Amino acid sequence: MLAGKATYFGVKALFFTALFLCAFHLANAQYFALNPEKKKVNIPFKMMRNMIIVKMSINNKGPFNFILDTGVGLMIITDYSIADSLALAHKRTIKLNGLGDGDASEAIVTPPLDVQIDGLKSNGISAAILKSDLFDLSGHVGMTIHGLLGYEFFNGLGVNINFNDSLITVYRPKEYKPFRKSQKIPITIEDHKPYLHTYITLPDGTAVLNKFVLDLGAGHPVSLENMIKKYGLPKNAIAANLGVALNGPISGYLSRIKEVELGKYSLKNVITSFPNTDYVSRASVERDGNLGMDILKKFNIGFDYSNGFLYIRPSNTFKAPFEHDMSGIEYYLSGENLSHLIVSRIAPGSPADDVGMLRGDEITSINFKPTSKMNTEEIDNYFKAPGKSLLLEVYHDGRYERVVITLRRQL
């Protein structure tokens, strides 16, 4: 990834963008509805680096790849090249404070768009088109990403997300059918985002009731935004880059907490992000942090915004332990077809640091397999096998070298 981007990058950082853009949200309702002849619609999705990616067209152009993200309150187009192809009329430009100078601090607010997802009809949906892709989502995910779709998708539908089958099923709210044998949990919709209250257990055994955003766009399991100030850091916390905010990388720490409760289910030994207080957002809704995809994907989940409920049933990955990168390598994909794996950061004291790898190195193969033939899911899985040795071919300082790293848990 680019400097400052962490393995748990999380589009949670784009929540900050939404804070600025929501002020420009049009007064008319923006939502999707099922076509009249449909009782439900199935939408396949692709899961990459803990991101739900769906295909859709806009104004009969596309298809485009969008990340489904409950953490944003307005549709965001991050690929500015789309703007010309959409033949927009009456577009206007706004300044986004905190994004820097020039084009990087501007976005186009569109008139209502015709957003096309098979079986659904869009109603009055506008978007903000960023003039610069500040977050390099394509480089992080490893495939071309054009934007994010949030509240507009959920507010007029009942939505089931089946992680076992990579399938989203949507209903009219009055005809919504949650997963069989799922548990119903109350949520609130505030500032266009879903929140719930639940207990966590800190490393010292203290149980604390917290208010969390349910954030499909955050790759990590849990982020506790006020932990350092209230309780201090766990003893074994490690310094980390946690993501990207409007004005740069979010620094903080990673560690584990004993338990997170979600309904009747308990998740143990959960990897948790602790942002530095300097980076904690001044959100319009008071909260303690967010629950991200690494927890949410352990369930097949249903969102019923209209009635204020979340439905959960364990998925195939429910019993899998929470694991973090064991190499110390943070990276992004770059170049034509996103075929170059570029190191953005090496964690101090990590296996990659032990062999002298540096930011800017390019990894061209892992165990003799070219990285250009691998996707980010494969690459990440290589780096999460404790005790395993990997042979990396690295382009370093103008020449190719081979190094061996032995993976080990850092958390």
Is the confidence at residue 49, as pLDDT, over 90? yes
Pair 226, 78: CB distance under 8 Å: no
At 114-156, the pLDDT tens digits run 999 999 999 999 999 988 877 789 999 999 999 999 999 999 9
CA distance 235 to 228: 12
Report cis status (omega within 30 of 0) of the bond before 63.
Answer: yes
CA distance 337 to 400: 22
Q: What are phi and psi of 295, to 5 degrees?
A: -95, -45
Of the pLDDT bands very low, low, confident and very high (cuts 50, 70, 90), residue 206 is very high
CA proximity to 334, closest of 146, 144, 148: 144
Give the DSSP H/E element, type plus range, for residue 354: helix 351-354
Is the confidence at residue 340, as pLDDT, over 80? yes
Give the DSSP H/E element, type plus range, for residue 82: helix 82-85
Residue 376 neighbours by CB under 8 Å, 6+ apart: 48, 49, 140, 141, 142, 333
For the chain, which domains are there? 11-171 (2.40.70.10), 175-314 (2.40.70.10), 329-406 (2.30.42.10)
Q: What are phi and psi of 87, to 5 degrees?
A: 50, 55
3-state secondary structure 332-366: EEECHHHCEEEEEEECCCCHHHHCCCCCCCEEEEE
Helix extents (H) in 191-312: 227-231, 293-296
Q: What are phi and psi of 401, to 5 degrees?
A: -135, 155
Mean pLDDT over residues 164-176, rounded?
97
At 249-289, the pLDDT tens digits run 678 899 999 999 999 999 999 999 998 866 555 567 889 99
Mean pLDDT over residues 66-76, rounded?
91
